[in-house]
Amino acid sequence: MRKVLSGHGASRGSALGRARVRLPHALDVAEETIPAEQVEAEIARLHAAIDVVRAEMGLLRERLQGALAKEIGEFLDLHALLLDDPELLEGLDELIRANFYSADYALRLQRDRIAAVFTHMDDAYLRTRIDDIDQVIGRIHAALHRRDAAVHGIAGEILVADNVAPSELPQLQAQGVLAVVTSAGSALSHSAILARSLHLPLVVGATWALQKINDGDVLAVDGSTGLVVRDPDADDLRTHRARVREGKRERRQLNRLRREPSRTLDGADIKLWANAESPEDVAEAHALGAAGVGLYRTEFLFLGRRELPDEEMQFQAYRNLVLGMTGRTVTIRTLDLGADKADNTGLVLPDEPNPALGVRGVRLSLRRQAVFETQLRAIVRASGYGPVRVLVPMVSSREEVLAVREQLDRTIAALRAEGHAIAEHIPLGAMIEVPAAAIALPGFIDTVDFLSVGTNDLVQYLLAADRNNEALGDLYTPLHPALVRLLGDVIATASAHGKPIAVCGEMAGDPAFVPLLLALGLGEFSLHPATLLEVRQAVRACDLSRLRSRAETLRHAYDRASIEAWLREATCPDNPAARVPSHG
Ligand code: PEP
Ligand code: MG
């Protein structure tokens, strides 16, 4: 029966397909027993589910090609081994036979028993192996509940889950998944950022998705509005087709701007850099005429791997990035692992009580000198192939920038001594995303060559509002007077010292914020190529001097409503991208 669920649009695009429901890994199954006469049937049901999972993984393995086959294949091989692991499986039959437990509850008990053993291990790497057990058990659990056991592959399907990890997304896309709907998550999470980068439609915060959607249900998903229609009727199908057509029409129109400058009505040139995470992003950024790469998040090289990427592997990735941009500057951000970007290599501290406030970004790099040194060597070597800038995440003090600069200088000297051809000058910049750095900026601006404002984190830390918690709703917003004022101060400080400054958080990629950022004096935006043409279109519809003349009113706005009113008034009516942002 038709049902409309509403979540939050986190990555645009429309999809029509069948649902593949993945139940949460941490099985929330209450104790459940079955009549004695059902025991053998229950064991058979469990083994049928295990066979389905084994077959699915075999199919998946065959479909993987190229680089993915190596990287993801490792996971699949391990998971396939676990499926045959007597430790994992033997106890299950026994639990059902001796205690008359349901297969679901037996799975949960077995999972908890193994988790208890792993949790007490000293080795951080081994402790993270519980994720693999969870994934395998989660797959079996999902297979137990599949309405149609014959559904094997997931190509052409829409994944419905509680959440997705950033590291899963490329794999899902390679498998041909059309879209993802999650009951939790947020549009500002790293998964959402990566989904946008992969052009994979994503709806997050669809609270009832796991209860209301079953395997095999037909879904129409709109990654812009966040609407998910189960069993769409004729009208929904027409709407879906219209949306797909409209999307194509908009693309065609925007494509006319590919070769146009990012210039305001009154002739000011605005620099649009690209946030690039993959070779596809780099190619797109280049084709759309991005000024260069303003943010390359190196942690994505580390996610989904079991071993740290060595110098050579990193060097090749950075060099390919530099070569891909054919002489335009690329900004390589040093490792920002931690918080929701936990890796599988054991680098990130497990069990931090509050990882967003923990050892992430530059804090981790400065504690893991050898890892940092390897990364800096790879970046500096890549600078021999084209202009490179180094950007440091999560800076909160002058001391941190100085420590990085010292290590960078040492690395440059060592590589020169080894005979490497490297750039004459490698600018060093700091992310401004911790409020302390924003406030203390006048005291350390002399230590940096450029700045990049990470509004995703700056909003989170300034407003004490978790960027991954959809339940906070409007509390997470760049339209808070504190953020607007702080941003204005940071841009003014940078300009007064002649230091280039960009905004590279998601705010910069939303055309609705363009008038606000231009009014505050921003001249550089770094954004994902997916919205570059829309932002260019918004820039071209703005009159910079008119906006600047209204900056003071904006800086003195005292609540969200007055900032929204300012935006409505300031936004050029003939800007086709004009709308007051309704989300965070
Ligand atoms: C930010 O915080 O705005 C940012 C660009 O960095 P990330 O999203 O990777 O934390
Ligand atoms: Mg950040």
DSSP states of 239-280: HHHHHHHHHHHHHHHHHTTTTS--B-TTS-B-EEEEE--SHH
Catalytic residue numbers, as ranges: 190, 504
- Centre of ligand 1 from the C-alpha of residue 100, in Å: 50
**115, pLDDT greater than 70:** yes
Residue 515: strand, helix, or coil: helix
pLDDT at 490: 98
- Give the residue whose CA is nearest to atom 10 of ligand 1: 457
302, pLDDT greater than 80: yes
CA distance 245 to 124: 50
Predicted local confidence at residue 574, as pLDDT: 54
Pocket probe mutation, ligand 1, options 190, 194, 196, 297, max atoms within 8 Å of Cβ: 297
Convert the pLDDT of each residue in 41-65 to its tens digit: 888 888 888 888 888 777 666 655 5
Q: Whose CA is nearest to atom 6 of ligand 1?
A: 454
122: pLDDT strictly greater than 70: no
Q: What is the pLDDT of residue 152?
A: 41
Q: How far is the CA of 212 from the centre of ligand 1 (A)?
A: 33
176: its two tokens: 């041909």
Nearest CA to ligand 1 atom 8: 456
> Are the CB atoms for 563 and 315 separated by under 8 Å?
no
In this structure, the residue with its CA closest to atom 4 of ligand 1 is 454
At 282, is the pLDDT very low, low, confident or very high (cuts 50, 70, 90)?
A: very high
Poorest-pLDDT segment among 46-60, 275-289, 451-465, 547-561: 46-60
What confidence category does residue 80 fall into, taking pLDDT thresholds of 50, 70 and 90? confident
Strand ranges inside 447-509, DSSP E: 450-453, 501-503
The order of strands in the sheet holding 227-230 is: 3-6, 227-230, 218-222, 14-21, 157-161, 179-182, 202-204, 8-11
For 191, residues 6+ apart whose C-beta sits below 8 A from its C-beta are 163, 164, 165, 166, 169, 185, 202, 340
What confidence score (pLDDT) does residue 557 get? 95
- Would you say 53 and 81 are in contact if contact means Cβ atoms under 8 Å apart? no
Please report the pLDDT score of residue 69 as a whole number.
55
174-201: burial string, b at 16+ Cβ within 10 Å, e else = bbebbbbbbbbbbbbbbbbbbbbbbbbb
CA of 232 to the centre of ligand 1 (A): 36
Taking only the tens place, the pLDDT of each residue in 382-436 is: 999 999 999 999 999 999 999 999 999 999 999 999 999 999 999 999 999 999 9
Name which residue leads in pLDDT, 511 or 144: 511
Most informative mutation of 301, 337, 392, 431 for ligand 1 (most atoms within 8 A of CB): 431
Residues flanking ligand 1, CB < 6 Å: 297, 336, 433, 454-457, 504-505
The pLDDT confidence band at residue 93, using thresholds 50, 70 and 90, is: confident
> How many A from CA of 318 to the centre of ligand 1?
19
Rounded-to-integer distance, Cα 367 and Cα 225, Å: 42
pLDDT band of residue 350 (cuts 50, 70, 90) is confident
Residue 128 is predicted with a pLDDT of 59
**The pLDDT value given to residue 338:** 78
Q: What average pLDDT does the segment 441-463 reach?
A: 97
Residue 169: per-residue pLDDT: 83
Q: Which atom of ligand 1 is nearest to the CA of 457?
A: 2
As a whole number, mean pLDDT of residues 249-265 equals: 90
Supply 222's token pair: 């709109």
pLDDT at 81 over 80: no
For residue 572, what pLDDT is reported? Answer: 62
CA of 71 to the centre of ligand 2 (A): 26
Find the ligand nearest to 455 CA.
1
pTM exceeds 0.85 for this model:
no
> Does the pLDDT of residue 584 top 50, yes or no?
no
Residue in 194, 333, 336 to alter for ligand 1 test, most ligand atoms within 8 A of Cβ: 336
pLDDT, averaged across the chain: 87
